[in-house]
Amino acid sequence: MKILALGGAGDMGRMAVAVLLDSPSVSAVSVADIDYELASTFVEMVNSPKLSAVQIDITEKEKLINLMSSYDVVINTVGPFFKFEVPILEAVIEAKKPFLDICDDWKPTLDALEMNEKAKSAGITAVIGIGASPGITNILAVYACSKLDEVDELITAWGLDIDIKAGRKPKYFIKPDKLEKRLGKKQDKPNAAIQHLLYETVEKIPIFKDGKMIEIDPLIETEKRYDFPGYKDMYTCYIGHPEPVTLSRTIKANAISNVMYIGEMATNVVREYSKKIQDKELSIEEATIALNKEYVEMEKRVYSGEKEVLEEYVGGPPTLSVIATGIKNGKRKKLGVALGREPYGEMAGVTSVPLAIATIMLIEGKITKKGILTPEEAFKDNPMEFFNRIAPYCGRNLTGKDILIEKEVDL
């Protein structure tokens, strides 16, 4: 199978490409980017006969459709998704090609789901948001809720775990610093992940409460700290992500929300820049660059062991986790399920290894339903198979059970 990787030379894309190149189901991968120097340099460094580079401006729709027509499957890691999700998906449907991406913005997720019938008519499968959050969190949620007879509340959560164990670097993965060194320049672009984070803080966000979808202000502190069983309770706030709007379609619950635990100090910095955007003191691009610099400095303080910063994170739950509360065998229970080990590469690993694994599973015929699918729809019947496929990237000889943390307590 020939894969077209839109944004395949970017931080997220390179990890997905590395995993795909290792698969015998994949015969070729083309890295597509507007920056041909970046794409071709990456291809040269990887030095795989399966890999090639192609230049494309994804805003030129007809050229994009023509390019897609030469491939069997298209994957997309081009962000921010609030700008590019819908036009890329429109092109994919016109090209009638299977598609997967890591869209993590809730508004374009809803827009994409509105295109379900068009995708069905085109005869394609499009799995959107198959990254970390959404993605792994959705499938953790499916797994956790399957263990309850009734679900009252479901919380998907993501944060910072400085002690989590990770797997080895995939053979074909190229680190950002090595790529920049070869290019002889630093990639001077707003960080798409941070731009996404800020985008999700400047307008009201959705949560599912009392059996209906409502909108609340972003970054509101949750009513209580996030209390994953067996770990320190964490400071959390509500953040705009697709999980509440998609999981409420497939899981019957009274309440579904997505929360962030990156520490009160880091959250307050996000609040400051969010306000500057709302007050029009900074554009979202300017705020992204400034916030990224602050986070780089804060990260240095965390990993240098500075007590004031470090104490917010030590003892907290893993990076990706869910809590499901409800009834099991007539008793009220709280179930916590988390990804206890991660693929190599921090954000790139937990985001793009799932994308690549889902792509390989689609090629192998493990995902057959047509239309626009969310992660929980694509893997609701085989969540553990998904984790079994990710497990080898988290460490040698591991299975899905080895990389999941499961906690159950009576209420």
Say what the pLDDT of residue 253 is: 97
Closest CA to 5 of 31, 34, 42, 26: 31
In sequence order, the β-bridge partners of residue 215 are: 206
Domains by residue range for the chain, with CATH: 2-133+343-398 (3.40.50.720), 136-176+186-341 (3.30.360)
Contact 288, 194 (CB under 8 A): yes
Say what the pLDDT of residue 295 is: 83
**Residue 352: other Cβ atoms inside 10 A:** 32
Q: Is the dihedral of CA 130, 134, 138, 140 positive or negative?
A: positive
Q: What is the largest CA-CA distance in the chain?
A: 64
Residue 345 DSSP symbol: S
pTM exceeding the 0.85 threshold for the entire prediction: yes
Counting as low any pLDDT under 50, the low residues of the chain are none
Pick left, alpha or beta for residue 215 (phi over 0 → left; psi -120 to 50 → alpha; otherwise beta): beta
Say what the pLDDT of residue 187 is: 61
CA pair distance 334, 345, nearest whole angstrom: 31
Residues 6+ apart with CB under 8 A from 330: none
pLDDT digits (tens, 9 = 90+) for 12-71: 999 999 999 999 999 999 999 999 999 999 999 999 999 999 999 999 999 999 999 999
